[in-house]
Amino acid sequence: MTRLTREQSQAVTRQKLLDSARELFAKGGYGGTSIDAICEHAGYSKGAFYPHFPSKEAIFLDILEQHGTSSISALLASLDGSTSIEDAIEQMARWADERSRDRHWSLLLLEYVRHARQDDAFGREQGKKLKAGCSQLGQRLSAILGSAPKDSELLDAVIFELAFAPAMMITPKPSTGTLVRFALKSLLQSS
């Protein structure tokens, strides 16, 4: 077995901490997860945490950013194969249904919003990261939908709100995909 370089070892430690935090945040939420618990679950002492992350907020933001980037990338990839506006709407509806099934992430996003509203610096930092990813989606949706309003921020906001709102829904009907189909078709008809 080859010995890892210092950089490789640091990368492995960082990834183990991220994996641990992702799992614990999903189980216990932001407020219910401590740095000590993240480190212990990853098999490290607390001293291993701070060279990689200055705070619990920093690791939480990294995890949310990775999840958001992965989620947006999956949607953009599915839209690449769309052959019509109807097909694109269907792709977005399927994506929204898939996102809504993962209630842990929906609840984490709600908890993030609550925390971000209490801490202006935290909210501004994450807002910049989310806006960058969302702008790609909004631009792609505007291009595909063509006759829909050219306000790409409105389009990506509609999709994300519908995809992650199920954390607050009590009844399973209508599905998130049904809501996305309705909203996008309504936008097209009103154009």
Across the range 88-104, mean pLDDT stands at 80
Across the range 96-104, mean pLDDT stands at 75
Residue 151, phi-psi category: left (phi > 0), alpha (psi -120 to 50), beta (remainder): beta
User: What tokens does 112 get?
Assistant: 């993030």
Rounded CA separation 41/36 (Å) = 9
pLDDT for res 89:
86
Question: Do the two domains 1-53 and 56-190 of this chain adopt the same fold?
Answer: no
Rounded CA separation 63/86 (Å) = 33
pLDDT class for 163, splitting at 50, 70, 90?
low
Query: Do residues 45 and 20 make contact, with C-beta atoms less than 8 angstroms apart?
Result: no
Across the range 152-165, mean pLDDT stands at 67
CATH of the domain spanning 1-53: 1.10.10.60
User: What tokens does 4 get?
Assistant: 């890892």
Q: Would you state the CATH architecture of domain 56-190?
A: Orthogonal Bundle (1.10)
Task: Using a cut of 0.75, tell me whether the model's pTM lies above it.
Answer: no
Mind giving me the DSSP string for the chain? -PPPPHHHHHHHHHHHHHHHHHHHHHHHTTTT--HHHHHHHHT--GGGTTTT-SSHHHHHHHHHHHHHHHHHHHHHHHHHT--SHHHHHHHHHHHHHHHHH-HHHHHHHHHHHHHHHH-HHHHHHHHHHHHHHHHHHHHHHHHHHSSS-S-HHHHHHHHHHHHHGGGG-SS--S-HHHHHHHHHHHHHHH-
How much of the chain exceeds pLDDT 70, in percent? 71
pLDDT for res 81:
78
Q: 């996305």: which residue's tokens?
A: 180
pLDDT for res 79:
85
Across the range 115-141, mean pLDDT stands at 67
pLDDT tens string 36-80: 999 999 999 999 999 999 999 889 888 887 887 788 788 888 888
Residues with Cβ within 8 Å of residue 80, at least 6 apart in sequence = none
Q: What are the sequence ranges of the domains in the chain?
A: 1-53, 56-190
